[in-house]
Structure 1
Amino acid sequence: MSAITILGLGPGSPALLTRQAWEVLSQAPEIWVRTAQHPTLEGLPASVQVHAFDDLYERLPSFPQVYEAIVERVLHLGKRPQGVIYAVPGHPYVAEATAPEIVRRARQEGIPVHLVEGLSFLEPVFTALGVDPFPRLSLEDALTLGGLHVPDFPPDSPALITQIYDRHTASEVKLTLSAVYPDEHPVKLVHAAGTE
């Protein structure tokens, strides 16, 4: 039956897959992943054929164009008699542009959608930092923050800035933060949380 299953792969360690995700993956002949650059894939059952959308990242000039192309392909695959399992890093609704749009569009087109939640990257980051995010943590996306003149969160509030994936993005974020913080303001860098 035509359907789309969107599955969260967790933050990186196969040990952090949910039981539900493992059961779905154990029975799947194939899955489609947003990117093959995710350590959880190494721990999948050998019987699962993995297809990735990495070619779109290489071919298209911007993330919005990549995400739109992925959405279109997943919707097309979901219309097949066997449907599609689309797996994303972390949780389908945490820092993930494609999953919410696939759900919205699939519902418009009458394609059933099943969500399999995954542990997001946030929990391992909080563990690595030894902090409880409540009550005041601001969650910020580096790509958005780097385009601002000043941060859009209170300067006395702790902030978790995600997706600093290259030097250019780090530089843009630093320029924005320097509008309100001195150069020697302490920061902590967390890399690859949840991958071990």
Structure 2
Amino acid sequence: MKKANITVVGLGPGRFGLITLESWQLMQQAEHLVLRTRIHPTVAEIEKRGLKFTTYDGFYEEAPDFETLYTHIAKDLLQRAESEGNLVYAVPGSPLVAERTVVLLRELAENSLVEVNILPGMSFVEVMYTRLGIDPIEGLTIIDAEDVGTLKERPAQSLVVTQVYDPIIASDTKLMLMDLYPDEYEVTYIHNLALPDESIRKIPLYELDRQKDVDHLTSLFVPAK
């Protein structure tokens, strides 16, 4: 029996032009296009170009935590592919950078009748390198804000904290980082990267949760110095 296919593509880190040409062509050709969420800067342009899609935004309201949510999404994708046929699944950024649903999808697909193909995409990290003028070859640790507490000591490398998506997470992140760095340690606050209203500004660590524009497009760069 021929396996159904799920092709995973990335929506890029911000503006529409950062979607790869290969991913865009597959999205245009998809019989079933599924987005993890419509809360992404490229979605308005995708709609303007006439593409029809469904999203998993409704799942967010039902799940008690993110791991449950992402597992539910991965299982549903497999079920849909088995019943409806090939589909294209689009996620924010790059499919293999801080995208838990893709990790779970690959694991669950091993024991299913569905084949998962993942295309490379541009993540916020590539844009950040350019904006901050840093070379990742010098060493960089990337961690989700919810995992900052797993750091038992100050990293020897510079640190990027992703998914600082609301004031509560920003406050928790600040407190955990202040166990490793001085309260006034200068960090770089990154918001709306690769968008027209992009903001990159240096602030003391203790002011992280005082920023007025904290949302799902907020990250933090902590230099090694």
Which among 86, 91, 95 is matched to residue 92 of structure 1?
95
1:124 is matched by which residue type in structure 2? Answer: V
1-side partners of 2:97 and 2:35: how far apart?
16
Which among 5, 17, 25 is matched to residue 7 of structure 2?
5
Q: Is the 8 A contact 2:20 2:121 kept in 1?
A: yes
Q: Where do 5+ consecutive residues of structure 1 fail to align?
A: none
2-side partners of 1:8 and 1:51: how far apart?
16
2-side partners of 1:109 and 1:142: how far apart?
32
Displacement after TM superposition at 1:81 (Å) = 4.5
Which among 108, 129, 132 is matched to residue 126 of structure 1?
129
Displacement after TM superposition at 1:26 (Å) = 1.8
Match of 1:16 in 2: 18
Mapping of 1:91-110 within 5 angstroms? 91-110=94-113
- Which deviates more from structure 2 when the two are superposed, residues 172-181 or residues 38-47? 38-47
In structure 2, do the counterparts of structure 1 residues 136 and 114 end up closer, same or farther at CA, with 3 Å as the change threshold? closer
Displacement after TM superposition at 1:52 (Å) = 0.8
In structure 2, do the counterparts of structure 1 residues 20 and 171 end up closer, same or farther at CA, with 3 Å as the change threshold? same
Mapping of 1:49-128 within 5 angstroms? 49-128=52-131
Displacement after TM superposition at 1:23 (Å) = 1.0
Match of 1:184 in 2: 184
Displacement after TM superposition at 1:47 (Å) = 3.6
Displacement after TM superposition at 1:187 (Å) = 0.7
Report how many aligned residue pairs link the two structures. Answer: 193
Higher strand share: 2
TM-score norm. by structure 2 comes to: 0.79
Which among 129, 135, 139 is matched to residue 136 of structure 1?
139
Identity of aligned residues (%): 34
Question: Higher relative contact order at CA 8 Å, sep ≥6: structure 1 or structure 2?
Answer: 1
1-side partners of 2:111 and 2:194: how far apart?
35
Mapping of 1:165-176 within 5 angstroms? 165-176=165-176
Match of 1:160 in 2: 160
In structure 2, do the counterparts of structure 1 residues 123 and 25 end up closer, same or farther at CA, with 3 Å as the change threshold? same
2-side partners of 1:168 and 1:74: how far apart?
31
Displacement after TM superposition at 1:70 (Å) = 0.3
Mapping of 1:9-48 within 5 angstroms? 9-44=11-46, 46-48=49-51
2-side partners of 1:80 and 1:91: how far apart?
27
Q: Where do 5+ consecutive residues of structure 2 fail to align?
A: 197-225
Q: Is the 8 A contact 1:9 1:88 kept in 2?
A: yes
